[in-house]
Amino acid sequence: MRNLQFLRSAEFIDSDADNIREFARAAVGATQTQTEQAVSLYYGVRDGIRYTPYLDFGDPEMYRASSVLRKGYGFCISKASLLAACGRALGILSRIGFADVTNHLNTPRLRAINGGDLMRWHAFTEFYLQGAWVKSTPAFNLELCTRFRVKPLDFNGREDSIFHAFDADERKHMEYVHERGFFADDR
């Protein structure tokens, strides 16, 4: 079966790590269906792991799911790796998707680090649920969204959950400009 690569533990999506399996089981509790489990995992990662873009991107541990979970923080790729690892730990086909987005609400510090408003290789997680791949973006935790008046992303397991085009004050927020595809691991 071609999709087995989306169930296997990998270098960065290390779904066989003990802390990943424990976190995934705790996050889903008694939920029964894979869709319910994916939704529970999404909120567990979205709000349980703090978002920060101010990291050492040369450190491979910033991309490894088990390390992100131990640290309790990460950026979009970190959190997407963690969510995919949790899905795989529960037997849900999971992969990483990438896109380039323009962040119209970029901070001056982040703009300087990134060299502008275009965020290349923004990551999200895709789950295979009810016969279709569904996108989920666990990047911005609820606390961060509230602080910056960004609409938090919800996920129901049936529809794609990608960044909102506008924030809570109707200012332009995120604009998807290029999809780069999906991968079994985030290398």
| Full DSSP string of 54-113 | -S-TT-GGGT-HHHHHHHTEE-HHHHHHHHHHHHHHTT--EEEEEEEEEETT--HHHHHH
CA distance 115 to 112: 5
Q: What is the pLDDT of residue 78?
A: 96
> What are the φ/ψ torsions at residue 183 (nearest 5 degrees)?
-145, 150
CB 95 within 8 A of CB 183: yes
Residue written as tokens 């491979």? 60
| pLDDT tens digits along 31-53 | 889 999 999 999 999 999 999 99
Residue written as tokens 């901070």? 107
| pLDDT tens digits along 92-147 | 999 999 999 988 888 888 888 888 888 899 999 999 999 999 999 999 999 988 99
Look over the chain and give the mean of its residue pLDDT values, rounded to a whole number.
Answer: 93
> What are the φ/ψ torsions at residue 31 (nearest 5 degrees)?
-60, 145
Q: Which of 53-57, 67-71, 168-172, 183-187 has the highest mean pLDDT?
A: 67-71
CA distance 132 to 158: 9
C-beta atoms surrounding 62 within 10 Å = 19
Q: What is the pLDDT of residue 2?
A: 67
CA distance 5 to 184: 6
